[in-house]
Amino acid sequence: MASASDGMNYAPQGKPDPVVKPGEFCFAVAAMDHGHIFGQTNGLTEAGATLKYTFDKLDPDKARNLADQHGAQHVTDLDVILNDPEVQLVAAAAIPNERAPLGIRCMDAGKHYFTDKTPLVSLEQLGDVKAAIGRTGKKYMVYYSERLHVECAMHATELIEQGAIGRVFQVTGFGPHRLGPPEGRPDWFYKHEQYGGILCDIGSHQIEQFLTYAGCKDATVQAAKVANYQHPQFPELEDYGDCTLIGDNGATMFFRVDWFTPIDLRAFGDGRTFIVGTEGFIELRKYVDIGNPDGPGDHLILVNKDGEQRMDLKGKVGFKFFGRLIRDCIDGTETAMTQAHALKAAELCVRAQMQAERVTD
Amino acid sequence: MASASDGMNYAPQGKPDPVVKPGEFCFAVAAMDHGHIFGQTNGLTEAGATLKYTFDKLDPDKARNLADQHGAQHVTDLDVILNDPEVQLVAAAAIPNERAPLGIRCMDAGKHYFTDKTPLVSLEQLGDVKAAIGRTGKKYMVYYSERLHVECAMHATELIEQGAIGRVFQVTGFGPHRLGPPEGRPDWFYKHEQYGGILCDIGSHQIEQFLTYAGCKDATVQAAKVANYQHPQFPELEDYGDCTLIGDNGATMFFRVDWFTPIDLRAFGDGRTFIVGTEGFIELRKYVDIGNPDGPGDHLILVNKDGEQRMDLKGKVGFKFFGRLIRDCIDGTETAMTQAHALKAAELCVRAQMQAERVTD
């Protein structure tokens, strides 16, 4: 799909590593408002899932093209998907404030749901989602791509589990993004009610990484900020946000997100994660190694008692989340990500957004 | 002096660049509790100042050695220094909570004062210092070495003034430090009342950089944290701290400091500064370029409309602060740093410390 310089449509591709036979696990695509749907589709199909249907209520051509690429069927009625018992999971990247209602509809039709982040934009939606999970027993899983679809970030997950840096007590995340030509973004991108605010939207990746790397089950938002520094023509756009959290185990996080990536950077953003533990630290350079002309992304730097190690992980780690998600749906397990974890990250990004102090007029 | 792997005694050396003739500007060293005094002395003598006396109330041998290196006179009575009209400035790195009283004594004796950071540890001391400045007309200047004595940090100061990244709206600073063998530190290092808390001590560097790079005259502390994660044998040690601030112009900062640098890192800490502006960003890798075996410190990476540039600045920028400070003392100017700026950073680090939430028991 698109290159790493276009964040909206960045869709990592991995090696096929099927966990099911063709046709054993069918899914459908039900909303394509955000380009992340291509990454979601890649991840699932590379893990062996079969794309049976595609649907997009606004852009049938886009849905038809995706269907053609995967030998799937394009439909113009969502109910075809919801009424087909072969469809076990619905993947979707709807407008953020429509993600929860769509998911609940899918779950009530007996489907697992796999939504782009942010999975929801209010505590009310969170309550509705939790009720639907209780009512249906279906999964409401989330594409937190900045960890799940980044090889160095997945490798960090394993290194930390293995104790490579001791007990993690601090995570700092930078999630800068390129806005690109303003007219290249859909209307909803500039409407706060629809996109949910910058902390809720691209901030959700960051909080999910904190909960994972620091091993927190819960956290509190200590402070948060949002701003519109440079885009008065879009008064509802937040072009900057940050947040600091305190985990239930005493670990802490800070992250910042923005829409200021310079046009000449080789990636959509200089995404970084810094993870500090009692026995060492890890730095992730996710999409580019700035200042190094040969430096692609997916670098992990580990400093601990064994010295400094730099790992170029492109193509070496893979994306285990997707196969595990498929198996979880079939087996009723939670090996890819627990439901509680997925929703806790969502809850905290909503709380960060609600609590944010606006630092510009 | 010592290498960059020993933060307590790290004393950068530059090229001689005298702004005065020998003997034209005499200074004395009056306290050597922190090894920063060697960096202060290097900076001043390289800029042409003449070290006339050394004094340390606890360790006369250390003071005598320094005197011998510079052809100065070691004295065992501070009053010799204070009573000599040739001495225009007293440099000192006392125990943090003794820095203000010593400085006020020097100023009342008609000397300018140049203290190691943190310059003071309470709002009461701040009031006393301001009163002394008003009473004596003397300077109370501060060795914020993590900018003033780091070439890439000084170059960032100039690039930002030239508009290289537009309007700076965010600064993130990492100030990790190596504790080293615990018995290698003096008693006062572990006593909160004496060292002032981690945000006040090594945090002061960070706030000074924020005020400089973001061009703030004032700021508020939005939130702060301190912790003792791993050193129960030193209950008054804070081995971690962080803080987020909002500047009077809407720019923001986050910094974290800690005492967890792994033993095998090539420097006392992976000091970093990330400065984001509306037209680009700058990253400083101050003491080491981790993961790059050939990578020394003093790297500046600039990303803006001209693309990505990596600058190796070791030996190329120099340390202009010291010559300017000498001229300011002679000429009654404020070209090195304004008094208001030096004290605002001090005030904010005290406020951060007072406001900090403790996240460990």
How close does chain B come to A357, measured CA to CA in Å? 9
Residue in B229, B274, B305 closest to A263 by CB: B305
Calpha distance A211→B119 (Å, rounded): 38
Using a CB-CB distance cutoff of 8 angstroms, which residues of chain A are in contact with residue B274? Answer: 174
Chain B residue nearest residue A230, CA to CA: B278
pTM score of the predicted model: 0.96
Residue pair B11/B2 in contact (Cβ under 8 Å)? The answer is: yes
Q: Across the interface, do A250 and B227 touch by the CB < 8 Å criterion?
A: yes
Contacts of A91 (CB under 8 A, 6+ apart): A27, A28, A29, A30, A37, A40, A41, A44, A114, A115
Q: How many CA atoms lie within 13 A of B85 on its CB side?
A: 0
Q: Across the interface, do B222 and A172 touch by the CB < 8 Å criterion?
A: no
Domain A7-144+326-332 has CATH 3.40.50.720: yes
Res B291 pLDDT > 90: no
Give pLDDT, residue B324: 98
DSSP B137-152: ---EEEE-HHHHT-HH
Residue in B167, B223, B260 closest to A244 by CB: B223
| Continuous H helices in chain B | 36-46, 60-70, 78-82, 96-108, 123-136, 145-148, 151-161, 192-195, 198-201, 203-214, 320-331, 339-355
Q: Across the interface, do B223 and A225 touch by the CB < 8 Å criterion?
A: no
DSSP B67-130: HHHHT-EE-S-HHHHHT-TTEEEEEEE--HHHHHHHHHHHHHTT-EEEEESS--SSHHHHHHHH
How close does chain B come to A31, measured CA to CA in Å? 34
Interface with chain A: mutation pick from B179, B221, B248, B254, highest number of A CBs within 10 Å: B254
For the sheet with A26-32, list strands across it: A73-74, A50-54, A26-32, A87-93, A112-116, A140-143
Q: Across the interface, do B291 and A309 touch by the CB < 8 Å criterion?
A: yes
Give pLDDT, residue B3: 59
Q: How much is the mean pLDDT over chain A?
A: 95
Mean pLDDT of A90-110: 98
Cα–Cα separations (whole angstroms), residue A176 to A179, A205, B332: 10, 12, 44
Mean pLDDT of A232-246: 97
Contacts of A74 (CB under 8 A, 6+ apart): A53, A54, A55, A60, A63, A64, A66, A67, A68
Using a CB-CB distance cutoff of 8 angstroms, which residues of chain A are in contact with residue B214? Answer: none
For residue range A164-195, list pLDDT tens digits in order. 999 999 999 999 999 999 899 999 999 999 99
Using a CB-CB distance cutoff of 8 angstroms, which residues of chain A are in contact with residue B303? Answer: 262, 264-265, 270, 290
Res A1 pLDDT > 80: no
Q: Across the interface, do B225 and A256 touch by the CB < 8 Å criterion?
A: no
Show the tokens assigned to A341. 């974890």
Interface with chain A: mutation pick from B308, B310, B312, highest number of A CBs within 10 Å: B308
Q: How confident is the model at residue A3 (pLDDT cuts 50, 70, 90)?
A: low
| ipTM greater than 0.90 | yes
How close does chain B come to A303, measured CA to CA in Å? 7
Residue pair A339/A323 in contact (Cβ under 8 Å)? The answer is: no
Core vs surface per residue B89-99: b (16+ CB within 10 A) or e: bbbbbbbbbbb
Classified as helix, coil or strand, B329 is helix
For residue range A27-53, list pLDDT tens digits in order. 999 999 999 999 999 999 999 999 999
Residue in B227, B250, B357 closest to A227 by CB: B250
Calpha distance A29→A89 (Å, rounded): 9
Contacts of B191 (CB under 8 A, 6+ apart): B236
Chain A residue nearest residue B260, CA to CA: A278
Helix (H) or strand (E) holding A244: strand A240-247
| Continuous H helices in A140-240 | 145-148, 151-161, 192-195, 198-201, 203-214
Show the tokens assigned to A215. 């091993």
The residue ranges of every structural domain in chain B are 7-144+326-332, 147-319+349-358
Q: Residues A164, A167, A170, A171: is their CA dihedral positive or negative? A: positive
Give pLDDT, residue B163: 97
Residue in B169, B258, B307 closest to A229 by CB: B169
Chain B residue nearest residue A300, CA to CA: B291
For residue range B93-149, list pLDDT tens digits in order. 999 999 999 999 999 999 999 999 999 999 999 999 999 999 999 999 999 999 999
Q: How much is the mean pLDDT over chain B?
A: 95
Is the backbone peptide bond immediately before A54 cis, with ω within 30 degrees of 0? no
Using a CB-CB distance cutoff of 8 angstroms, which residues of chain B are in contact with residue A279? Answer: 262
Contacts of B189 (CB under 8 A, 6+ apart): B195, B237
Q: How confident is the model at residue B11 (pLDDT cuts 50, 70, 90)?
A: confident
Residue in A256, A291, A299 closest to B308 by CB: A291
Q: Could you say which architecture CATH assigns to the domain A147-319+349-358?
A: 2-Layer Sandwich (3.30)
Q: Across the interface, do A303 and B262 touch by the CB < 8 Å criterion?
A: yes
Core vs surface per residue A97-116: b (16+ CB within 10 A) or e: bbbbebbbbbbebebbbbbb
